[in-house]
Amino acid sequence: MDYSYKALKIFENNKDNLNTAFCYSQIGNLYRKQKSYDKAKDYFTKSYLVDSTNNIIENLGVDLTNLGLIYSDLKKYEKSVYYLEKSLTYKKQLGNKRGVVNSLNLLGATYIDWGKPNLAIEKLNEALELSKSINDNKGIANSLINLGASYQAIKDYKRAIVYLSECIEHSKKIGNYDILIDAYRVLSESYAATNNTDKAYQIHLLYTTLKDSIYNSESQKLMIDMQTKYDSEKKENENKLLQAENSLSTSTIKQQKITSYFIIGGLVLALLLAYFVFRGLKQQRKANLIISQQKLLVEEKHKEITDSINYAERIQKSFLASNELLNKNLKTTLFFFNLKML
């Protein structure tokens, strides 16, 4: 089912109408096998609409047949006959004789289920005649078993036994065991209806033996298929897990590399910052040392200058008269000190 949906999506995206309709039909058949008849009907209808809209005439007969079958499954026999008759018309127009045989046999089977065996006999005789003319062995077998069931329905057991016996021989010849099993079952019922219990028991025993054999064979095949599917899915899941682990590992390594780059980058930036801070502090200390040295030098020079001035002042004062002497001899005086640097 999953593969059919995947294929359908691809064909829809590519606007491939022929294969889109085919996928709708396939999905419908899968739902029919699951007895999801409403879903099957929806997909058969979609297939029919795509084929009819795009004038894909060769597929319309199949689409209509599928719709006829699904309505028969739903026991809506009138609608089933309507679609099967339309299918028959398309197949006749296309000259599809095997398709015509198939539609006639399906119409006969539907009439039997609908409780109209006489109408079934009419369609089935036409199907048998045509299938023999084209050597359609499966069509012959289907016509014979349905004719046997139709005559059984109208209690004409003699004719029923004739057709069913012929069907059994033909089915053995072509190796169609599905039809053979059903023929044994219906023939056993016909013998039982005629009170031929011994023959009914013998045929019923053949029916149950073959059915069990086929069932066991199919069960074994099913088990093998299931085991194969299990192994395939297990391997596929293991591959997916490995891919996920590889992807995770790659992602982790990539993330670790990115983290390492960030750490290294951070360390480099921190080292550069520390270097510039250290260099700045070193330059600051050097500048402070120079300033201190210059300050000391200035202070020393200033002291020297001050000392020189004081010394010169003392020398000059030593050459001058004292204030008392001057006051005594000079009434009005003005002194001007002109200091000279030594």
Domain boundaries, the chain: 2-216
Q: What pLDDT shows up at residue 342?
A: 46
Q: Nearest 5°: CA angle at 249, between 247 and 254?
A: 95
Quick check: 337 pLDDT over 50? no
Average the pLDDT over 6-26 and give the result. Answer: 89
Query: Domain 2-216 falls in which CATH fold?
Result: 1.25.40
Report d(CA 124, CA 130) in Å as an integer: 10
Task: Name the token pair of 86.
Answer: 């339309």
Q: What is the pLDDT of residues 166-202, one digit of tens each?
A: 999 999 999 999 999 999 999 999 999 999 999 999 9
- What is the per-residue pLDDT for 272? 76
Please, which pLDDT band fits residue 125 given cuts at 50, 70 and 90? very high
Q: Please say if the pLDDT value at position 271 is more than 80.
A: no
- Segments in 95-196 forming alpha helices (H): 97-113, 117-133, 137-153, 157-174, 177-193
Residues in the chain: 342
> Is 234's pLDDT higher than 60?
no
Residue 218 has pLDDT above 60, yes or no: no
> Taking the alpha carbons of 125, 126, 127, 131 in that order, is the dihedral positive or negative?
positive
Inform me whether the pLDDT recorded for 161 exceeds 60.
yes
Q: Helix, strand or coil for residue 16?
A: coil
